[in-house]
Amino acid sequence: MELAFAALILACLHSFVSPDAQGDALYALRKSLNASVDQLKDWNPNQVSPSTWSKVSCISNNVVSVSLTSMGFSGILSPKIEVLKTLQTLTKREVDQWLFSNSMQCPGALHFVERNAIVISYGLQTNSTLVGKQDHFEDPTFKFQIPLQIAAEREIARSLIGDPKFSWVVSLKEFAHPALQIFSAVGTVGPTFFLVIAMFGFVFQISSLIAEKELKLRQAMTMMGLYDTAYWFSWLTWEGIITLISSLLTVLFGMILVFPSCCRPSLASHLHQQLQVITQFGFPYSSNFSSLYRIIWSLFPPNLLAQGLKLLSDATATPQDPGISWSRKGKCAPNDNECVVTISEIYIWLISTFLLWFVLAIYFDNINPNSSGVRKSVLYFLNPGYWTGKGGNKVAEGGICSCTSSVPPMEDITPDDEDVLEEENTVKKEAKEGAVDPNIAVQIRGLVKVYPGATKIGCCKCKKTSHYHALKVKCPLTLCA
């Protein structure tokens, strides 16, 4: 194997050897290593000196180094290798420097020291550089260090007893230990991106809201006679479709990029296996925190998402873990020792918070002034007319507490202008008789703009100003076609 070439770094006596003997030894080495025809094809035993051969360095026609790393050779070293007695000796420091400068080239080196005729000691020096392929890393201890140690001890025993076929069999078994925590770029950086994907819909919602305000789309819907129900359900339908598409694309791209969590059979219960973000921020889903903190924290849906991902991640930490099936969603998740919240409870919380924030959005939309400066009272939902659709908007132009002091109806005042009075009487007569003037496109009747009075509370007294009628139009405004 490639590892065997580290044994060429030996402490040997320097003596002169004929070039032909060195060439024969190198050629025998090539034959014993199962080299292909294209490998080391310039190693020609008919040449007087191997100084022109590839991978061979010579000084004064003496072979001082042979570098055959990263060539994939296998086999047993030829006994003729002992002819190469002029190989240079590398110290441990020099080997360290070479391994550091040539990473991924050689797994290790052996340093032999012959103490006496019956004692041969050795030192093992390995390259600790790891090779990783899709989150699977080679274990240098079991793949390089221990096999190299066993091979060195076997050859030392064969050399001392003089039996090259001496059997030396060693069985290895790894002790039980916790699962190794292997670094994963997806597990480290992925949580941020997955949470951004889940929360990015908020960005689209804000953009749509700004565009709606700029284009006055809702005002146009109101002028067309559409109810607020149509407005809210259009929002709900559109955002639901966008969320569904975003979720499907997230899973699809996870499968395309071969994320382990997206390629398992039970995709719904193994989504985002490696997300560990919940522990990074110290969310209060632990027995160390009171239930009040958990309730307050759960009102923010991304926190529930993070906790759910944490439970799924712990339930699929190793290939032997069963995960969380749909039938077990109401039970404690595997590897969850505290069991503060289950997947089923998280689903209930998500649905509840959705309804809560949706209702609050409708409520604040009603009590805040709209594009026309009109708003309802803070207790508008207590007015039966709001639910029946009969008179529910009569206090729309009152104050925020107009439920306790509604805007009084405008007094019936006779216009002072004779032309206005005549036009008013004409319109009333036509309305009473049911006549329609084909030259009139639009009639506006009873247009009133009232600003509610203010209430000032002082020391032991309360002063209330009357309502101010800024606009009074009892006669109709007509637009002729």
pLDDT at 117 (0 to 100): 82
DSSP 430-447: HHHHT---TTEEEEE-SE
DSSP 186-243: HHHHHHHHHHHHHHTHHHHHHHHHHHHHHHTHHHHHHHTT--HHHHHHHHHHHHHHHH
Least confident of 101-105, 216-220, 412-416: 412-416
Q: How confident is the model at residue 405 (pLDDT cuts 50, 70, 90)?
A: very low
Residues in the chain: 481
pLDDT at 385 (0 to 100): 76
CA distance 338 to 344: 16
Which of 233, 255, 180 shows the shortest CA–CA distance to 358?
233
Q: What is the mean pLDDT of residues 178-193?
A: 63
DSSP 279-321: HHHT-S-STTS-HHHHHHHHTSHHHHHHHHHHHHHHHTSSTT-
Decide if 340 contacts 306 (C-beta within 8 A): no
Tens digit of pLDDT for each residue in 422-459? Answer: 877 887 887 788 777 777 777 776 666 666 666 666 66
Domains of the chain with CATH codes: 2-128 (3.80.10), 185-366 (no CATH), 418-480 (no CATH)
Q: Is the dihedral of CA 190, 195, 197, 203 positive or negative?
A: negative
pLDDT at 353 (0 to 100): 92
Instruction: Say what the alpha-carbon torsion angle 174, 177, 178, 179 is, to the nearest 10 degrees.
Output: -10
Q: How many CA atoms lie within 13 A of 8 on its CB side?
A: 28
Mutual orientation of helices 228-256 and 201-215 as an angle, nearest 10°? Answer: 150
Neighbours of 210 (CB within 10 A): 10
Q: What is the mean pLDDT of residues 268-286?
A: 48
pLDDT at 26 (0 to 100): 78
pLDDT at 18 (0 to 100): 44
SS3 category, 165: coil
Q: What is the DSSP letter of 4?
A: G
pLDDT at 394 (0 to 100): 46
Tens digit of pLDDT for each residue in 40-83? Answer: 777 776 766 777 777 788 877 778 787 776 666 766 777 777 77
Does 178 score more than 80 pLDDT?
no
